[in-house]
Structure 1
Amino acid sequence: MSRKKLVRFKQNEENPNVVQDGKPIFETIKGNWNTQQFQNEHPIVVELACGRGEFTVGLARQFSDQNFIGVDIKGSRIWKGSSTATAEGIHNVAFLRTQIELLDRFFAEDEIAELWITFPDPFPRDGDEKRRLTSPRFLEMYKPLLKSEGILHFKTDNTDLFNYSLELFQSRTDIEVLGFTHDFYQSEWKDDHFGIQTRYEKMFSEKGEKIKYLKCRFI
């Protein structure tokens, strides 16, 4: 492991806005994010596969009356968002280092107000369907965690993943699709991300890839 990564992992251990294995809060945070991490009762917005945390931190900058949590397993990526938030004095943001398939170990029923899935790995092979963050397996996990009327947002550059997800969502009787587009920046929903672009989104857009987006809620 490189020295740079070791330094970043050490900073993650010390930074209170990172919740990860080895910290006492890691075992007790489920159902207690408002009291133990944020010390307020503001709504909780979660971004899955947050990477470097640009979107999570960007939302936190704009909405001081909400709490934002980025989830990723890569500590060196989380370090970037954590360090940015610390340097800017942004206190309504945190990062959870864990595998997303374990999400229900860290959030209680009705604890999440909004959920963002932004540019996840498409896992294109049929045998990898269960690994897609929009697959039935994951939807069943998200459903109880989201509050009633809670919104699930999904953005991707991958057409096959988007079409798979849209078809799946529309086929379910417990999901209401509130809107979707195959060209986000030419749609009526282009302001739903509040002008925040991640490094990867910019890269995809510059290559001419159209960004796909949908939002839905569980009934």
Structure 2
Amino acid sequence: MRLRHKPFANDKLLEYKEFVVEKPEEFKGKWQERFEKEQPLHIEIGCGKGRFIIEMAKRFPEVNFVGIELQTSVIVSALEKQIEEQLPNLQLLQVNAKDLMDYFDDGEVDRIYLTFSDPWPKNRHEKRRLTYDSFLTVYKAILNNKGELHFKTDNQILFEYSLTSFSKFHAVLEEVYLDLHNSEIEDNIMTEYEEKFSKKGNRIYKSVITF
């Protein structure tokens, strides 16, 4: 999908420094300083336009959230939602997921969400998949001992690949849903893509792992 260029995006991200972390390396090990209260820290990698992370922050005020998105023209939409909501337990971060150990200390994060990540279907792009071995190494480092990785997708091939990747990494598969929307799970908050794909009849897959 081609991203629509938004020439105002960079300036807007710089304008709202109370919501967008400009120098995240300075908060490594000190993320609680960005929030009003010291609470469990959950991050979403690839937060897109922010629907999921905004709704999570609204529903769970007892948790601090960081939405992470690399694309400027996408994360600015999440920022616009946050400007409207003014949620004290949400921060936004524009960085590459492979570099998260530069911004989060060992064991600093309580939960990671991967929601409808790019499947990168071509074999030559395997290393770009967010469930590839090198990314799992990053997640394991920044999660605490009880930390969880929550992964959702509508792409069956990516889901099967990810389960294999988790197994090879010796992660513990805590939960698996092969048809999330027809399961007994409660309080499922959908992303924009999840709603779009589920309306088309696509099955939604989810897994929860620990390291």
Looking at structure 1, the residues matched to 164 and 151 of structure 2 have their Cα atoms a distance apart, in angstroms, of 13
1:167 deviates by 2.0
Q: Runs of 5+ in structure 2 lacking a partner?
A: none
Q: Which runs of 5+ in 1 are unaligned?
A: none
1:114 corresponds to which of 111, 116, 119:
111
Deviations 1:129-160 (A, max 9, x none): 11110011110111010011101000001000
Alignment-derived partner of residue 6 in structure 1: 7
Percent identity for Structure 1 against Structure 2: 35
What TM-score do the two structures reach when normalised by structure 2? 0.92
The 4+ residue runs of structure 1 with deviation greater than 3 A are none
Q: Which residue matches 1:100? A: 97
Aligned partner of 1:140 in structure 2 is 137
Alignment TM-score, normalising by the size of structure 1: 0.89
Partner of 2:31: 33
Secondary structure at 1:28 match in 2: helix
| Aligned partner of residue 163 in structure 1, secondary structure | helix
Query: Which residue matches 1:18?
Result: 20
Shift of 1:39: 4.0
Per-residue CA deviation, residues 145-180 of structure 1 (Å, 9 max, x unaligned), is 00111010000010000001112223443x110110
What SS does the aligned partner of 1:5 have?
A: coil
SS at match of 2:65: strand
Aligned length: 206
Task: Tell me how far apart the structure 1 counterparts of residues 196 and 36 of structure 2 sit (CA, whole Å).
Answer: 37
Q: Look up the match of 1:52.
A: 49
Matches of 1:74 and 1:171, distance apart in 2:
30
Contact 2:36 2:88 in 1 (8 A): no
CA shift at 1:7, angstroms? 2.4
The CA distance in 1 between the partners of 2:177 and 2:25, in whole Å, is 39
Q: Is the 8 A contact 1:153 1:214 kept in 2?
A: yes
